[in-house]
Structure 1
Amino acid sequence: MELIDHLTLGFGVAFTAQNLLYALLGCLLGTLIGVLPGIGPVATIAMLLPATYGLPPVAALIMLAGIYYGAQYGGSTTAILVNLPGESSSVVTVIDGHQMAKKGRAGPALAAAGLGSFFAGCVGTLVLAAFAPPLTEVALSFGPAEYFALMIVGLIGAVVLASGSLIKALAMIVLGLLLGLVGTDVNSGVARFSFDVPELTDGISFVVIAMGVFGYGEIIHNLSHPEGERSVFTDKVQGLMPTKEDFKNMLPAVLRGTALGSALGILPGGGALLSAFAAYTIEKKVKLKAGEIPFGKGNIRGVAGPESANNAGAQTSFIPLLTLGIPPNAVMALMVGAMTIHNIQPGPQVMTSNPELFWGLIASMWIGNAMLIILNLPLIGMWIKLLAVPYRWLFPAIVLFCAIGVYSTNNNNFDIWMVALFGVIGYIFIKLGCEPAPLLLGFILGPMMEEYLRRALLISRGDWSVFVTRPISASLLAVAVALLLIVLLPSIKKKREEAFVED
């Protein structure tokens, strides 16, 4: 009954005219940037963070959340029609989705992606609503030692689940932690790592790093490709409704993808991308029925499974953010930034001190998913036309919007130069094959980890054993060590590398 009361409060907040408008705006923007290859939700949310200053906190978070899960819908459109994943979690949708489009079955592929996403999004939000309150109760019993240990697990998890090399992911985390130390020491008031640059005494702005590495870095990377490589889908999409046989095949895949995405979305470093890869791997393991199209040739399960998983993962990745204050992926790290802008401390106290925001955000996700299914299928024709816009017309507008956004944050020219610098660094990371998301997590969690470490040592009078004598803290540190040891085993390491490689 308590859950129903909470959801009633949430829907009361979400159903105001202002919040419905921002949910619609977020969903539209999310779909748009999902459709446009190479922009992605991280870059878009980073660009829009300064714009949320003037908005009420609930409206701002509803819009940013809509961008995140809206991008999962939009990414599948380009993956199916143009063989270009608009969003990283749609990479596996390309494999079978585009094959279906080439065979004249783009409609059923888009419908499978849309319906699977809607079902998974609703279930993911239900999981969030059910599990958030008990997890919040547990989190309220945490002390500084437990929080420090939890953040260690979060960072190790981000390393383990990041795509690509473990060493590179670890290096990104460490670089993020080091960048987080730039500024003024809270305890002593002494400037550190500022190199006598006055602008660095307040630290490096989170918006600057996010916008530079993800926004400008992606733009430079896209400009390095010849424009002729972009193909445009000009055929008309006919017959959106899947056949009875399609429904029979895709229903189990949707259920499996939803369950898997709901679980993996909670993990640090998980979210939509890992969920989609894992769902596709599982679908390939399930035996083909008699007469079923092989995977890689246009199997509808290869679209429905990953698309359901990435949407469920996108919803449940809000659980560690809202209950523990730990961002499990780069987008959630940006959400921490948005909450901090509005003087909201992410963590268990959000639910008790700001229930309108907590439950309003959860309720808005149901509304947003309904908006997306209604919006996406009729607007497919418009998205196809949008794909024909040359990138040389899009990127100057994005660059200008980023620069204005960064300048408006502190009215400081130095920040614009810093964004440009981090844009070049972001491009170097892409060329080196380094996943930049762990850097953002390290940057967000670094100062928080330092604060909890110092607090725990102050309470224990400098006794380091406090981290292993307290049961919860010791258990969490043991989990972190176990994660590292398991992933370093040769057989697990090989499987992990295979999981992030397409067929």
Structure 2
Amino acid sequence: MIDSLASFFAGFLHAATPTNIFFAFIGSILGTLIGVLPGIGPLATISMLLSFTLMMDPLTSLIMLASIYYGAQYGSSTTAILCNLPGEVTSAVTCIDGHQMARQGRAGVALATAALSSLFAGCVATFLIVLFAPPLASLALNFSAPEYFLLMLLGLVASVVFCHGSVLNAFAMALLGVLLGLVGTDVETGSLRYTFGIGEISSGLDIVPVGMALFGLTEIIFNLSMPMSRQVMTQKITNLLPSLSDLKEAVLPAIRGTAIGSLLGILPGGGATLSPFASYMVEKRIAKDPSRFGRGAIEGVAGPEAANNAAAQTSFIPLLTLGIPTNPVIALMLGAMLIQGIQPGPQVISSRPDLFWGLIASMIIGNLLLVVINLPLIGIWVRLLKVPYRVLFPAIVVFCCIGAYTLNVTPIMLFIMAGFTVFGVVLIMLGFQPIPLLLGFVLGPMAEENLRRAFVISKGDPSIFVTRPISIVLILMILALVLLIFLPAFQQNKEEFVES
């Protein structure tokens, strides 16, 4: 533990350089901006910037992209409170009580509560990464091909179990994602698979056009088909400092929300998305007067916002220690590391300690910057909320096209992005969720590679998967997740979190 803390504080030497602080500031500004403006989201933004990060230092690029991710969690609460319109799905629950507080003339208190709860949760979650990431990475060093295959399978199963909606639909999406991930050249035989004679995809489909299509352009199309009216609070926002009684009411919910978000953020699939809903349900159930919720209860802002930001931070733990993405944004972070020639996983902490600890230390810097950016500049964010979508969306489409085209300067990426956009629209109209598809797209090739490697090691003997304690533990975890599917109470509570 002492060594981890020493390494963490040493990480500030790498994170606190003028260049890294500048790009953390840029990422925080961008994250807040896309959180404030509904219909963009961190996934589309990070997808657009991936090709540009090739020209940057690996640590600098990851600091900027991470700042965009958890900056969007801060910014989305502003839209939820002032417009009753969540910038991100994770802030949907903040609308319930946050907007009611704004209508009662307490918008400043609601915004400050959201920002301070997020800051507290972000700092606590960062120290949890410091404490638990190194031991988990040390354990992962004992993994071989069978354990890595089971780990990837665990991630796929979790993405299906925790995705809201039909489990069968989620399973179909995960399987389709795996199949799409296998497009390209077989790493064992060198033969082409599913390329249909298109030489430009012989190295596989790229995550950037796929991610931008499924989570960026698809969202824009649905927003255009269902125009949203934004009634922005016009009165001057004052009293940004909560009173002592407000702080007393918000402290315990923020602590509980941090704990809930820290745990759920580690889970692949919908864990990070479910965390604020889970926090809100817990606060409402343990409240002495549940009728206050929905009428401007400060607990309904503090708990979910803490859970939201804590989950965003701890979702980096599986990526940095095991090389497994827990949600689509973290999958793009994995792609950013691969683009820079860095293989995510337990080796990062020993081979690139400057990057590992520098990225973690930057989370403290980023969270402090976000409080400074969000509260004093609230007037600017309110004015940005009035930007019409007819101006905003064409610019987003242009930047998406630029990001896709600059990957290899060929038009094929634009066609792939356009095709997946149409495909994404059809999927959502039919009730399918794209999150398991993207996680299957990322985890599928890694699972296949380790499965084949395991059979090579064992000369085709499948018992290799049950001969080591770690493998058995992973199999039991997979079985436990599968059993959750058949528990009516679990399915009912999962849908309540999403629909509440």
TM-score normalised to structure 1 length: 0.97
Counterpart of 1:362 in structure 2 is 360
CA offset at residue 30 of structure 1? Answer: 0.5
Gaps of 5+ in 1: none
Alignment match, 1:102? 103
Counterparts of residues 409-428 of structure 1 (less than 5 Å) = 409-428=407-426
Residues 47 and 403, structure 2, Cα contact 8 Å, conserved in 1 = no
Give the drift of 1:170: 1.2
The alpha carbon displacement at 1:271 in A equals: 4.8
How far apart are 1:402 and its partner, in Å? 1.0
Report what 1:255 is aligned to.
255
Q: Is residue 23 of structure 1 aligned with residue 28 of structure 2? A: no
**Is contact 1:164–1:500 with CA below 8 Å preserved after alignment?**
no
Amino acid corresponding to residue 158 of structure 2 in structure 1:
G
Retained in 1: the 8 A contact 2:69–2:312?
Answer: yes
- d(CA) in 2 for partners of 1:119 and 1:497? 28
Moved more, 207-216 or 428-437: 428-437
How far off is 1:126 after superposition?
A: 0.5
Give how far 1:495 is off.
2.4
> Which position in structure 2 is the counterpart of 1:130?
131
Structural mapping, 1:420-499, within 5 Å: 420-499=418-497
Any runs of at least 4 consecutive aligned residues in structure 1 with deviations exceeding 4 A, and if so which?
A: none
SS of residue matched to 1:409: coil
Supply the distance in 1 between the matched residues of 2:145 and 2:170 (Cα, whole angstroms): 26
Asked whether the equivalents of residues 7 and 363 of structure 1 are also in contact (C-alpha less than 8 Å), the reply is yes
C-alpha contact (below 8 Å) 2:91/2:276 kept by paired residues = yes
Structure-2 residue corresponding to 1:50: 51
Partner of 1:195: 196
Q: How many Å apart are 1:161 and its aligned residue?
A: 1.2
2:161 paired residue number: 160
Question: 1:276 touches 1:306 (CA, 8 Å); kept in 2?
Answer: yes
Deviation (angstroms), 1:431: 2.2
Which residue number in structure 2 is paired with residue 143 of structure 1? 144
User: Where do 1:231-246 residues align within 5 Å?
Assistant: 231-246=231-246
Q: Which residue of 2 aligns with 1:62?
A: 63
Give 1:312-331 correspondences, 5 Å limit.
Answer: 312-331=310-329
> Is the 2:184–2:203 contact (alpha carbons within 8 Å) kept by the matching residues of 1?
yes
Indicate whether 1:183 and 2:184 are aligned.
Answer: yes
Aligned-pair identity in percent equals 57
Q: Quick one: which amino acid aligns to residue 249 of structure 2?
A: N
* Backbone CA RMSD of aligned residues: 1.3
Equivalent of 2:375 in 352, 374, 377: 377
Contact 1:173 1:438 in 2 (8 A): yes
Corresponding residue of 1:286: 286
1:260 CA displacement: 1.1
* Superposition deviation, residue 435 in structure 1: 2.1
Shift, 1:270, TM fit: 4.4
Q: Deviation per CA, 1:316-358, whole angstroms, max 9, x where unpaired? A: 1111100011111111100000000000000000010000000
The one-letter amino acid paired with 2:39 is G
Q: Find the aligned partners of 1:269 and 1:198 in 2 and give their Cα distance.
A: 32
Q: Give the partner amino acid of 1:484.
A: V
The answer to whether the Cα contact below 8 Å between 1:288 and 1:294 also exists between their aligned partners in 2 is no
- Code of the residue aligned with 1:485 in structure 2: it is L
Per-residue deviation, 1:185 = 1.0
Q: Which residue in 2 is equivalent to 1:170? A: 171
Aligned-partner residue type, residue 237 of structure 1 = I
How many pairs align? 499
Gaps of 5+ in 2: none
The Cα of 1:293 is off from its aligned counterpart by 6.7
Cα distance in structure 1, aligned partners of 2:379 and 2:169: 41
Q: Distance in 2 between matches of 1:170 and 1:293?
A: 38
